[in-house]
Amino acid sequence: MTNTPNTQPSKALNQPFDHRAIREQFPLLSQAHQPSICYLDTAATSQKPHSVIEAMNHYYQQGNANVHRGAYQLSAQATRDYEAVRDKVQQFIHANNRQQIIFTHGTTSAINMVAHGLTEQLNCNDIILIDGAAHHANIVPWQALAKRTGAKVMPIKLTSNGLIDQSDYDAKLAMQPKVVALAHVTNALGTVNPVQQMVSKAKAKGAITLVDGAQAIAHIAVNVAQIDCDFYAFSGHKMYGPTGVGVLYGKLAALEQLTPMLTGGEMIKTVSFQHTTYGELPNRLEAGTPPIAEVIGLGAAIDFIRSQDSEHIKHHEQQLVCYLQQQLSLLSNIELYGVELTDINSTAMPNNSRHNIGAVAFNIKGEHHQDVGILLDQQGIAVRCGHHCAMPLMTHLGLKGCCRASVGMYSNHDDIDRFITALKEVINILV
Amino acid sequence: MSLTASPAAALFTPLPQAITEGVAHIQRASNWQEKYRQIMLLGKQLPEFPAHLQQDAAQVKGCESNAWLYHQAQDNQHYFIASSDARIVKGLIAIILSETQGKSRVEISQYDLNKHFQQLGLSGQLSPSRTNGITALANAILAFSQQGS
């Protein structure tokens, strides 16, 4: 993983790191906010810093105009601000060209855009290979594509602890799938796929590759040029930005070949009642008035992330996940999922790519995740309890669901301690 | 709902007195822990729910946990057997049944779930407005009692 070119060089990790200052930038988590919430559900959505909220406010109060059309100054400024975010995203994920950045409404809409856009390229002999631990957003659009084209969806098998079985992946790649859709980091377990290596193998077989980066983008430096996938999708709201905006990155040739899912304004070149020609990328895939304020908010979120010391943040989050796993594994009634036990027990900081990112999934043995969630909520703890939009993964693990605690850059050891204390109380009540 | 297996008629019984009495204890719980313990105890005291009745066709939709509901009318009295795989929801089912089991169609239609839960001091996660499935269960009980009327 490389740093983005414009970030300041990392301070040495032994330099003081003012975590409190970061946390204070998030109004909902600041000390002024009462009652204080223990927020461990960043994987569902992150909290938003002042700067993001302010950027959106500022747009509505001082800069509100539609983009790409007005001849007047206000619209020209809105267009400049909107398009400047495309450049920021391009730099942030190391894309080669600004036209490769398509604004969407989120990861789900980005994946749907690709799955819909490929309809004319698939037929009944094709295989769509999907991640067995995927979020429903990276399963259902492919099922719909398969239904439209007669192609077959095949899930990649998982190991007993929920990681992709790489030998099954190799075996299925030998069947020359037309599409390979992977998660960068899984949402339910926080496990990391070696996407660069997996994409490279898929490309060698001629597959079109898509990586769902929703759970990766806030936690690790993403370099799409290095991953070399055809498509990479992520959401703004999981990276300290607003809801309602996301990004589809694509290689130019791959994007050019997508049939637009949405047609209408903004995306056309000429329209007559007989014939319409579509415009150039990226507009061709951005029909209708885009979520302008949200895109501007996303730009502020990228500025915010890049203003932090990325190495410190990464180290801080990994420490928290590690501490969370260690504290959970000390409780006798807890089952952890998708975790390498050797990682937990090692005293060294985990550096290998197999280490979970951002999230830890668990259950209290024999207890229903909903009971646990209710009793944690009673104590002001926000965690997600359910199937995590990954029912096939839950089925594979033999679970009805599980609880997931997830962290962001603003999380701290107190959050984890408070959560563990509350969980002990839950165990006390239930067991 | 079409059911592939119907429970034996003998399973549709009035609730044990322990439940009707136990519901009153919820209000008197000295802390939230006691309140939840009491709710879960009520769930435990529900009449036995045989495992073979855990059928998809009897599932009440809208619950995060699985919840199953069966109904039988005896004259104008409506009886239910219900359960959930989550303990708190099972307790909440017992609370609803404490006011609806063996009641007439009119009585069930007059049952005010929100008011009942408010009276018991059940708020937050336990209130019917949350996604715990309690409203779905109460609606299913009401729908059953209105059938054929």
Q: Measured between CB atoms, does B113 come within 8 Å of chain A?
A: no
User: In this predicted structure, what is the pLDDT of residue B132?
Assistant: 72
Percent of chain B with pLDDT over 70: 94
Q: Measured between CB atoms, does B54 come within 8 Å of chain A?
A: no
CA distance A31 to A111: 38
How many angstroms separate the Cα of A74 from the Cα of each of A54, A77, A294?
A: 19, 5, 17
Catalytic residue among A38, A322, A385, A389: A389
Instruction: Report residue B122's pLDDT band, with 50, 70 and 90 as the boundaries.
Output: confident
Strand A334-337, strand A384-386: pairing: unpaired
Residue A135 identity: H
> Among A425, A426, A415, which residue's Cα sits nearest to residue A40?
A415
Residues of chain A with CATH 3.40.640.10: 53-305
Q: What is the DSSP letter of A424?
A: H
Name residues 82-111 of chain B within 8 A of A (Cβ): 85-89
Phi, psi (rounded to 5 degrees) for A246: -150, 180
3-state secondary structure of A244: coil
Question: Using a CB-CB distance cutoff of 8 angstroms, which residues of chain B are in contact with residue A35?
Answer: none
Highest CATH level, class, for A16-45+309-430 = alpha beta
Instruction: Tell me which residue in B66, B87, B124 faces A371 most closely, judged by beta carbons.
Output: B87
Q: Are A40 and A46 in contact (CB under 8 A)?
A: no
Instruction: Tell me which residue in A377, A400, A430 faces B125 most closely, judged by beta carbons.
Output: A377
Instruction: Tell me which residue in A370, A428, A429 faces B89 most closely, judged by beta carbons.
Output: A370
In the 3-class helix/strand/coil scheme, how is A176-220 assigned residue by residue? Answer: CCCEEEEECECCCCCCECCHHHHHHHHHHCCCEEEEECCCCCCCC
User: In this predicted structure, what is the pLDDT of residue A87?
Assistant: 98
Q: Is the pLDDT of residue B129 over 80?
A: no
pTM (two decimals): 0.91
User: In this predicted structure, what is the pLDDT of residue A33?
Assistant: 76
Q: What is the pLDDT along chain A (431 residues), one digit of tens a residue?
A: 333 444 444 445 556 678 899 999 999 998 777 788 899 999 999 999 999 999 999 999 999 999 987 789 999 999 999 999 999 999 999 999 999 999 999 999 999 999 999 999 999 999 999 999 999 999 999 999 999 999 999 999 999 989 999 999 999 999 999 999 999 999 999 999 999 999 999 999 999 999 999 999 999 999 999 999 999 999 999 999 999 999 999 999 999 999 999 999 889 899 999 999 999 999 999 999 999 999 999 999 999 999 998 899 999 999 999 999 999 999 989 999 998 765 555 544 444 445 789 999 999 999 999 999 999 999 999 999 998 899 999 999 999 999 999 999 999 999 999 999 999 999 999 98
Instruction: Report residue B128's pLDDT band, with 50, 70 and 90 as the boundaries.
Output: confident
Cβ separation of A378 and B86 shorter than 8 Å?
Answer: no
CA distance A209 to A231: 6
> Among A355, A349, A386, which residue's Cα sits nearest to residue A370?
A386
Instruction: Report residue B9's pLDDT band, with 50, 70 and 90 as the boundaries.
Output: confident
Structure tokens at A367: 């207890």
Q: Measured between CB atoms, does B66 come within 8 Å of chain A?
A: yes
Q: Measured between CB atoms, does A429 come within 8 Å of chain B?
A: yes
Compute the nearest-CA separation of B119 from chain A (Å): 19
* Active site (catalytic) residues of B: 63
Residues of chain A with CATH 3.90.1150.10: 16-45+309-430
Strand A127-130, strand A268-271: pairing: unpaired
3-state secondary structure of A282: coil
CATH of domain A53-305: 3.40.640.10
Question: Is this prediction's ipTM beyond 0.85?
Answer: yes
Compute the nearest-CA separation of B103 from chain A (Å): 29
Phi, psi (rounded to 5 degrees) for A183: -95, 145
